[in-house]
Amino acid sequence: MLALMGGDDEAAAARQRARSSGASGWVRVLLALLLVASATFVGAYYVPLRRAHVLLTEEHQRSSQKGRELEQTLTEMRAELQAKTAVVEKIEAERRQAEAAQKSGRERVEEIELVLSTTLERHIKKGVVAVSVERGRALVALAESAVFAPQTLDVSPQGRQLLCQAASALATSGEAPIRVGAVSDPAHAAPPALQQAHPTPWALSAARAASVAQFLEEKCAIAGARLSAVGHAAHDPAAAALAGSKLPPGRVELAMALPGASPAKD
């Protein structure tokens, strides 16, 4: 009986060990499967995802850097565009200003010519005065016989009126210098009294110009600082400008630079 019981116990113990051994095997199998699944997950998902994350991070950094560079470039381009726009606007403003000045200058020239022609119209029709407004200057030419008393350097009563009218008309054009020039008529010799005091055409024409300049200062209220006098003898630098006039060769000329222009060089 005891022997039977001992056998049963051993059999039960064997069965228990078998069951324990089987359970341990399943546990090891499960652990192995879990390790394989983990390795598969790591290999198939985590590592690629990690690599992708690293690549995305690097790409993001590069994109951010590129964005900053583009922003800087855009800022520089905006500044350059603003600078160029300012230059263009300045050039355009200067162009408009120049056009306005040119237009104003033309209008001023037309106004000066109108004033001179209107003021001296009666004398122009008589052929003793001519007016020319061109080449950056206003020119009033007066016949020598209409300015001086016969055989003298004294301004005649008619000459006084003419000179003061001409000076008054020129005075409306501003405070530019006025150059008085005198031209001798080569076909007519000077009176003996004048030849004795002024033996050459140069001396005589210079004396006539000086006499007129002095008269303008003393009787026509033209500041002496604005006046200059020059004798041209028989040479006439203004002949081309007066080609259409009826004036004789011997004459007195008042020339003044127009506003914004330099006097023409004769």
DSSP string, 155-219: BPHHHHHHHHHHHHHHHTT-S--EEEEEE--TTSPPPHHHHHHS-SHHHHHHHHHHHHHHHHHHH
The per-residue pLDDT for 113 is 80
Distance CA 245, CA 239 (A): 10
Query: Going along the chain, which residue ranges are E strands?
Result: 129-134, 137-143, 178-183, 227-231, 251-257
Beta bridge partners of 98: none
Indicate the residue type of 32. A
Q: What is the pLDDT of residues 173-192, one digit of tens each?
A: 668 899 999 998 887 777 88
Q: What is the mean pLDDT of residues 32-56?
A: 74
DSSP label at 41? H
Q: What is the pLDDT of residues 120-172, one digit of tens each?
A: 889 888 889 999 888 778 899 999 999 999 889 999 999 999 999 988 888 77
Q: Which residue has the higher pLDDT, 201 or 98?
A: 201
The answer to whether the beta carbons of residues 108 and 256 sit under 8 Å apart is: no
Counting every residue written for the chain, the total comes to 266
Could you give the domains of the chain?
120-257 (3.30.1330.60)
Between 47-119 and 157-171, two packed helices, what is the crossing angle to 10 degrees? 160
The per-residue pLDDT for 17 is 65
The per-residue pLDDT for 160 is 93
